Chain A
Amino acid sequence: AAGVIQSPRHLIKEKRETATLKCYPIPRHDTVYWYQQGPGQDPQFLISFYEKMQSDKGSIPDRFSAQQFSDYHSELNMSSLELGDSALYFCASSNSRGGAMNTIYFGEGSWLTVV
């Protein structure tokens, strides 16, 4: 079965540079979530989108922005990168029409290293 696809899988950027991560949800999933997992940390919720509109916002820095496009894929844009932004970034998706509780499925993650 198709899963959540994230690209790139690995990314190395220098401080103050910009990075863009892409996420392709499972087909027919209408909700996308972004999480950040620092080294040895639990995943922290950043932001989510439902039907191309922002649905919830967590601990996402102002330097970061995200959007969901008409084909439901999402991009996370990170500017003025700092060393502390080095982390594993997960995208996840769910189908809001799936019933009382829609399981959230995670991608393999994108490793961002800021040097």
Chain B
Amino acid sequence: AQSVTQLGSHVSVSEGALVLLRCNYSSSVPPYLFWYVQYPNQGLQLLLKYTSAATLVKGINGFEAEFKKSETSFHLTKPSAHMSDAAEYFCAVNFRDDKIIFGKGTRLHILP
């Protein structure tokens, strides 16, 4: 069955530390993959997307993600966390049938 899984509903990192948010998918064909960020009481903002071009995708706000087919993963990283990165992050997948399916989300907490 096709699915998307985010490991860890809450992740805490210190300001300046590496951010790693995990996303795995299950699909018979490589899907299109996205990361969205949602700040409190706001909408969904696209961070980056993978559409079968380069496997390392750079997004906004210093985030990047790497598509690894062998691991069926699309983890989101940022070298140095900033207080303003505190938000909910959603991994989303398009299994090539038009609509997007979201993971359960990961709340990122930044510790001073």
Contact = CB atoms under 8 A, between A and B. Distances in A.
Interface of A: 31, 33, 42-45, 48, 50, 55-56, 58, 90, 92, 100-101, 103-109
Given A101-B94, A103-B49, A108 B42 contact: yes
Contacts of A48: 98-99
Interface of B: 32, 34, 36, 42-46, 49, 51-52, 90, 94, 97-105
Contacts, number: 51
Contacts of A31: 98
A96 B102 CA distance: 20
Report whether over half of chain A's contact residues are helix, strand or loop; otherwise say mixed.
strand
29 contacts: A33-B99, A33-B100, A42-B104, A42-B105, A43-B44, A43-B102, A45-B100, A48-B99, A50-B98, A56-B97, A56-B98, A90-B43, A92-B100, A100-B51, A101-B32, A101-B49, A101-B51, A101-B52, A101-B94, A103-B49, A104-B94, A105-B46, A106-B43, A106-B46, A107-B43, A108-B42, A108-B43, A109-B42, A109-B43
